[in-house]
Amino acid sequence: MGVHLDLAIHMEPGKPTWHAYERWVEKLGEMSGGKIGIDISYSGVIGIQEWDGLISGRADIARIFTLNLDPFPLHTVPALPYLMPMGHENLAVLNALYDKYLCVEWKNVKVLWLGLMSPYHLHTSKKPVIAPEDLRGLRLQASGLVAELVETWGGTAANLALPDVPVSRQDIADAIYSALKTEAVDGVVSTFEVTKDFGLYDVTQYHTCLNVVRDVNATVMNLDAWSSLTPDVQKVFEKLNPWAQKELDAAQKAESAEAEDLLRQHGHKIIQLSGEELSPWIILSQSLVEDKIAYLESRGLPARAVADELGKLSRN
């Protein structure tokens, strides 16, 4: 007798990540001899709503993004600016951190694999930005950790979302697009993918590559759903997880490259900073890194140990 599960993700159909999940579902079916069937649906919700949907059982499987999400304070550490390596080795680093520290924050679900969102960059409408001093007088859409980072750099953060008010991904897209169009904000700090997904190529012109902040995500299964699977079916999932992790990582990189190419097609200027130009951004960011680690330590969390482990793994 086969099993049928639901996978809810907030990425739209047709994107490389969506197709990567389709390939995963196909392989699960093949490797299980047709015992595993999964329907993929577009949830349209993000953050705590996505997490609540998984915990409550409205979805059997979901892709959860941890940045600024209350159940995952320790995941703030690998998201901190300029701590996570940029190369292909980042998955090995992330897996090692999970095994030693991060796993404690996932006790209520079954983690299939972890991933990293693309790094955040600065996207502005009127003014190119090279140095932190260029941020003076600029209002940038940002929230949570990223908003604190903007203020640390000397800019002004403007969070367009109302606190504790549930919003959809489309609501966020509409708010950011409108704010840029009406010049209520001068830019946004986010991934390249957001410029494509939210149509921001119409309302921005300059893109400063800062390679900052890595949002840890995880493809996870509701614990009751996992426990209901027979051991042979669970083994199929476990065997395929490493392949799926690499497949989704490649798809994420493809989405970023597609978005960057689209900006170039629209005649935008993508600003690649030299090591010397990036240095003051990194130096200014260190105070926020230390403050965040100290805050998490004050809550009894081993943030310093996670940061030290991350540094050691990145050097190996």
Calpha distance 135→156 (Å, rounded): 8
47 band by pLDDT with thresholds 50, 70 and 90: low
Token pair recorded at residue 251: 């798809």
Whole-number Cα distances in Å, 244 to 3, 21, 26, 161: 19, 8, 11, 33
For the segment 240-254, the average pLDDT, to the nearest whole number, is: 96
Which amino acid type is present at position 110? K
* Angle, CA 51 vertex, CA 49 and CA 55 arms, to 5°: 115
Q: Of 47-61, 104-118, 180-194, 222-236, which range is least confident?
A: 47-61
Contacts 24+ apart (CB under 8 A), 29-35: 31/236, 31/239, 31/240, 32/2, 32/233, 32/236, 34/2, 35/1, 35/2, 35/3, 35/232, 35/233, 35/236
Per the prediction, the chain carries an average pLDDT of 93
Biggest alpha carbon distance in the chain?
Answer: 64
Whole-number Cα distances in Å, 235 to 32, 223, 232: 9, 15, 5
Closest CA to 133 of 286, 282, 281, 269: 281
314 band by pLDDT with thresholds 50, 70 and 90: confident
Q: What percent of the chain has pLDDT above 70?
A: 95
Q: What are phi and psi of 72, to 5 degrees?
A: -130, 55
Would you report the helix, strand and coil content of the chain in percent, each value rounded to 5? 50, 20, 30
Helices 144-153 and 275-298, packing angle to 10 deg: 130
For the segment 121-139, the average pLDDT, to the nearest whole number, is: 97
Please give the torsion angle defined by the CA atoms of residues 86, 91, 94 and 95, in that order, rounded to the nearest 10 degrees.
Answer: -170
Contact (Cβ atoms closer than 8 angstroms) between residue 95 and residue 242: no
pLDDT in tens, 18-35: 999 999 999 999 999 999
Calpha distance 114→119 (Å, rounded): 16
The verdict on pTM exceeding 0.75 is yes
Contact (Cβ atoms closer than 8 angstroms) between residue 213 and residue 120: yes
For the segment 216-231, the average pLDDT, to the nearest whole number, is: 96
Calpha distance 198→175 (Å, rounded): 10
Start-to-end Cα distance in the chain: 46
Q: Which domains does the chain possess?
A: 3-116+214-258 (3.40.190.170), 120-213+265-315 (3.40.190.170)
For the segment 256-278, the average pLDDT, to the nearest whole number, is: 97
Token pair recorded at residue 225: 């759903």
Which amino acid type is present at position 166? P
Q: How many Cα atoms sit within 13 Å of 41 on the Cβ side?
A: 14
